[in-house]
A and B are shown apart, each in its own frame.
Chain A
Amino acid sequence: RKEVEQDPGPFNVPEGATVAFNCTYSNSASQSFFWYRQDCRKEPKLLMSVYSSGNEDGRFTAQLNRASQYISLLIRDSKLSDSATYLCVVNPGQFYFGSGTKLNVKP
């Protein structure tokens, strides 16, 4: 069983739409959680850490559900520049990355 699983997508949405991604993890000992975005042929860039109480950064909201072992990312008012692959990361002692969810925001 994979440590981290994500829907690969792609999610094709119009500008201004709200889109949500989920990510499930298998190790209940995981202590820290993150979302990264990765543009084509570039390095992953930290989007946000995910805290137990949930957290928001502008148009982005991250949630953690420890009981069901998943984290989510909500993007409101999607912009063309949000088009990228979103990687879920779980750390039960070392970083485990999901394979990513591809988002295409269309005009």
Chain B
Amino acid sequence: DAGVTQSPTHLIKTRGQQVTLRCSPISGHKSVSWYQQVLGQGPQFIFQYYEKEERGRGNFPDRFSARQFPNYSSELNVNALLLGDSALYLCASSLAYEQYFGPGTRLTVT
């Protein structure tokens, strides 16, 4: 069975631009969560979606938004990029309590 997939794998953007990251969960998983991981830190929770509804939001500014589609895939959007948004963005899918991560999108903002 395919695991969680994310695209793109790498991305370079300029300050002020907008970016969209994509995630497809494991087949049968209805919940998707997004995390930001900066070097030397653990992943930090951004959003959780379940059945297309937002179930949780971490301490991130309104520049961050997300949505989940009827097929349970998800997009994370970040507007007005800042240098500090440079990080590994991870998507995780879950059926119950355990979360399984995709390979991530490495975003560099210059």
Chain B positions within 8 Å of A93 at CB level: 56
Q: Which residue of B lies closest to A88 (CB)?
A: B42
Among candidates B35, B100, B102, residue contacting A46 with C-beta atoms closer than 8 Å: B100
Q: Are B102 and A43 in contact, CB atoms less than 8 angstroms apart?
A: yes
Q: Are B43 and A45 in contact, CB atoms less than 8 angstroms apart?
A: no
Q: Are A94 and B42 in contact, CB atoms less than 8 angstroms apart?
A: no
Among candidates B42, B45, B48, B99, residue contacting A99 with C-beta atoms closer than 8 Å: B42
Q: Are A91 and B43 in contact, CB atoms less than 8 angstroms apart?
A: no
State in angstroms the CA–CA spacing of A51 and B64 once bound together. Answer: 34
Q: A43-B90, A44-B43 are in contact. Are A94 and B101 (CB under 8 A)?
A: no
State in angstroms the CA–CA spacing of A10 and B83 once bound together. Answer: 29
Q: Are A97 and B44 in contact, CB atoms less than 8 angstroms apart?
A: yes
Q: Are A46 and B99 in contact, CB atoms less than 8 angstroms apart?
A: yes
Q: Are A43 and B104 in contact, CB atoms less than 8 angstroms apart?
A: yes
Q: Which residue of B lies closest to A2 (CB)?
A: B42
Chain B positions within 8 Å of A96 at CB level: 45
Min distance, Cβ A38 to any Cβ of chain B, angstroms = 9
Residues of A within 8 A of B (CB): 4, 32, 34, 42-46, 49, 87, 91, 93-100
Supply 7 further A-B pairs (C-beta < 8 A) apart from A46-B99, A95-B45, A97-B44.
Answer: A46-B100, A49-B97, A93-B56, A95-B43, A95-B92, A96-B45, A98-B42
Chain B positions within 8 Å of A100 at CB level: 42
Min distance, Cβ A36 to any Cβ of chain B, angstroms = 8
Q: Which residue of B lies closest to A4 (CB)?
A: B42
Q: Are A87 and B42 in contact, CB atoms less than 8 angstroms apart?
A: yes
State in angstroms the CA–CA spacing of A58 and B98 once bound together. Answer: 19
Chain B positions within 8 Å of A95 at CB level: 33, 35, 43, 45, 92, 99
State in angstroms the CA–CA spacing of A94 and B33 once bound together. Answer: 10
User: Most A CB atoms within 10 A — which of B44, B56, B90, B97?
Assistant: B97
Q: Are A49 and B98 in contact, CB atoms less than 8 angstroms apart?
A: yes
